[in-house]
Amino acid sequence: MISPTDQIRAQALTLGFSHCGFARAEALESWRPFYEEFLAGRDFTGMNYLERFAEQRLHPELLLPGVQSVIALLMNYYPEERLPEEENFIVSTYAYGHSYRKVVQERLQQLISLLEELVPGSRSLGYADSGPVLEKQWAQRCGVGWIGKHSILVNPQEGSFFFIGIILTTIPLEPDTPAVDHCGNCTRCVDACPTNALHTPYRLDINRCLTYHSNINKGEIPEGIRGQFRERIYGCDSCQDACPYNRKAVPHREPAFNLLPGLAALRKPEWLSMPEEEFNRLFEHSEIGHMGFRRLRRNMELSEGQRESG
């Protein structure tokens, strides 16, 4: 007889997830000191929700009363090809295609339908970077990867280019063995960070992170960060590109994550002359579109200003 976990795992792979793991739904109190230190004394422009829902992140029963298990799922987004570098700006690979939140959330809901069939009357909630859930911590407890020195989840078989989906469920499920850290003495991600945002391994200094400043920060860019954009206009993959585990990365098979045709055709002249109406049309359903036209223009101006001053 096939166990519930085997049925769920098989269905997850059918839905396009690469890895699936299980853990008991317990309080994450051991992470409280780390999380509180992360929040203390930092300016989270556009990310105040991190502080507002801290207790829900640490206690899943506050999100789903009666929760018994957590399911962690990884969906690959590693691209088969990257944007041309010549006379071009740099866009993080996770923004190449359609918005990942919608894609992952839809697959989570399909998997939740299976859970409801397996155990009628059960309740489940799915999260894809869409709620107060510590996705990476749960993924590590579920055994699908460990949190690396760059603060990103690393799967030992395929690296770190994954979106994480989390399901909380009232169904008791056999837990997997939590993943262990395999970073060892390696500091390649730390050394590769252009702004020294990983000066303390495993603790991302978000106030120095280019991804935060280019994608999320709606205010002023600190002077020490302004000079580090260097062609980047959306995100930064430097730490992931440096990780030796990403030598094992294989291209995804999800059509929604393929390079948007309009994005693939752009070079600097087209980026710089793009009107807002064209931006809205090209990136309506993408992460770049969520950033907004004004921040795109700001990032391009910073990148071009650096090149001219250099």
Write out the catalytic residue numbers. Answer: 129
Determine the 3-state secondary structure of 146 from DSSP.
Answer: strand
Identify the sign of the CA torsion 218, 260, 247, 182. positive
Burial class (CB in 10 A: 0-12, 13-18, 19+), 81: exposed
Phi, psi of 36 (to 5 degrees): -65, -35
Long-range contacts of 218-226 (CB under 8 A, 24+ apart): 218/45, 218/46, 218/295, 219/45, 221/298, 221/302, 224/195, 225/195, 226/302, 226/306
Distance between CA atoms of residues 98 and 285, nearest Å: 6
User: According to DSSP H, which parts of 15-73 are helical?
Assistant: 32-39, 49-52, 54-58
Asked whether the beta carbons of 42 and 217 are under 8 A apart, the reply is no
Distance between CA atoms of residues 78 and 258, nearest Å: 10
Distance between CA atoms of residues 34 and 174, nearest Å: 28
Q: Would you give the DSSP letter of residue 242?
A: H
